[in-house]
Chains A and B, each alone.
Chain A
Amino acid sequence: MNALSPNSDCSAAIKTNKNEPEEKDAAVAEPPLKEEEVDERADKQARERKKQFHELAELLGTSQDPAELSAYLYDRFPSLGALLTTPLAAWEKVAVAGTQFPIMLQVLRECALRHNRACLPNDDLCADERKLMDYLIARLAWESVEHFHVLFLDEKNHLIADELQSVGTINHAPVYPREIALRCLALKARAVILAHNHPSGDATPSLGDVAMTQKVQSVLSVLDIKLLDHYVIGRANQSSFIKLGLL
């Protein structure tokens, strides 16, 4: 049994995954931390999360006693991001959440998304890639099935519209190059950025992704519209077709 112990942290990972994934990552990123320091940091983060979830339960819920709801949230969700991106359907059987709280979470999520979108550069969208990634991650990374987005830009790379092109299944979303071209014409777009998520977490483009991107590029080039990049957003990492040399 001892020979197998290197992987025994698998089960530990499952347990910690629920409560302190952030602490675990932090510990990996900065090795010199001592064990007590890691504990202390985890404690601090846990306390902050507890406070934040209590505030949410108190402000957005209808219950007279928000303690029960906040305890539930604290047990279930490792972060505010995970809480906000939980779909409405998942709340149906959670009696303690009541009816108003899940709806208000959706409202809050939409507010947060519009906040991120408003923080995108006003002129050249490509000028600040970090902000663009923040926006795309918030929008896409948490989805459990593939979402394919098209960002339409004008000749100065100013964002005209961000549209959800299609919703697919766990490992595929259909894309119709002709429809993208048609929307470009309707919106008078001169450049396009594609983005989709990989629910598995790993953002390595699939062969299908590459082939589809080339098809979109050839369709757009007929209309003299630039394909600036194609981002794949995963929970574990993100990739750019330009940086990978695929465009």
Chain B
Amino acid sequence: MAKHYPDLPSGMPGGGPESSGTGPNTGAGGHRKRMRQRVLEHGTGSLADYELVEMLLFCVIPRRDTKPLAKALLQKFGSLVGLFQASREALREAGLKERAIDLFQLPAQGACAMAQLKAPTVPMLGDGERLKAYLTALPQPKSFCRLLYLDSRNQLLCDEELVEAEHGLGNCVKSVATRALLLHATALIVVFVAPRSSALGLAQGVRGLMLELQPLSIVVHDGIMLGLDKAQGVTWMMSLYQEGLL
């Protein structure tokens, strides 16, 4: 499977239909590769309108130079938005095939989709009650330790098991920091499931994590200890913060 998806930047354009007999950096294939490289390096903001159309056409026209057609289409429909709002009829008259017509419907659909927002349905874990309810409702976790990554409004971004935590939190600062940064989290809650070590020991680990993450502006809100029973689920819960251990 992997051979169908070579990594960029490879010698030839990414396995596309345009991988023709031309050399790696000549002809239409080389041009396409350079255009894609430009997007990778500088983003799409610097592309001219006709270049955007040109790149869209790459998808439906193998090999051939698409610039003349892109420019002709823009001229015919007056502007980029004129082209994207043109009816299928008009596009057909302009000589486009069905696949290309399908393709030119996408920008308007995308414009509409990106302007439509729905409030994300993520749980808010701002106070102890909600946190408790959330943890109680969870399916029984297998791992000893799990981390709740939160944003600045205490919305849950991610709830992950931390396998390495078995040997102390000190060993996983790097992986936790990496995850938190990638998730754009500002806060964490550490949850210990059926801990066998003492609360004091766990609190020490959490305090260590707190100190390490401080320079990254990531706060550790709390460490929660959970008692688990196979039949009854969560049997007891204790907040290290509320016990004054942090």
Report which A residues bind B (CB closer than 8 A).
1, 4-8, 10-11, 13-14, 16-17, 21-22, 24-25, 52, 55-56, 59-60, 62-64, 79-81, 84-85, 88, 95-100, 103-104, 106-116, 118-119, 133-135, 137-138, 141-142, 144-145, 170-171, 199-202, 235-237
Contacts and interface: CB of A to CB of B under 8 A. Distances in A.
Given A4-B137, A107-B55, A98 B15 contact: yes
| Interface SS of chain A | helix
Contact of A84 (B58, B110, B120): B110
Contacts of A199: 151, 184
25 contacts: A1-B233, A4-B133, A6-B133, A7-B130, A10-B133, A13-B122, A14-B122, A14-B159, A24-B121, A59-B60, A80-B110, A98-B5, A99-B8, A99-B36, A107-B47, A108-B56, A108-B106, A109-B44, A119-B81, A138-B111, A145-B184, A201-B155, A235-B117, A236-B119, A236-B120
Contacts of A17: 120-122
Contact of A106 (B39, B60, B119, B134): B39
Most chain A C-beta atoms within 10 Å of own C-beta, residue among B43, B47, B84, B137: B137
Nearest to B51: A107
B151 to A, nearest CB: 5
Contact of B114 (A52, A85, A144): A85
Given A59-B106, A62-B15, A84-B110, 20 more contacts: A11-B123, A14-B123, A52-B109, A79-B116, A80-B109, A84-B113, A84-B114, A103-B36, A103-B40, A104-B58, A110-B44, A111-B80, A111-B107, A115-B85, A134-B115, A138-B115, A171-B186, A200-B153, A202-B153, A235-B120
A55 B117 contact: no
A10 B36 contact: no
Interface in B123-144: 123, 129-130, 132-134, 136-139
Interface in B1-25: 1-2, 4-8, 14-17
A60 B93 CA distance: 23
Most chain A C-beta atoms within 10 Å of own C-beta, residue among B15, B114, B118, B133: B114
Interface of B: 1-2, 4-8, 14-17, 36, 39-40, 43-45, 47, 49, 52, 55-56, 58-60, 79-81, 84-85, 99, 102-103, 106-111, 113-123, 129-130, 132-134, 136-139, 151-153, 155-156, 159, 184, 186, 232-234
Contacts of A52: 109
A171 B152 contact: yes
A199 B186 CA distance: 12
Nearest to A234: B117
B117 A141 contact: yes
A142 B133 contact: no
Contacts of A135: 115
Contacts of B129: 7
A22 B7 CA distance: 35
Given A109-B110, A116-B115, A170-B151, A64 B4 contact: yes
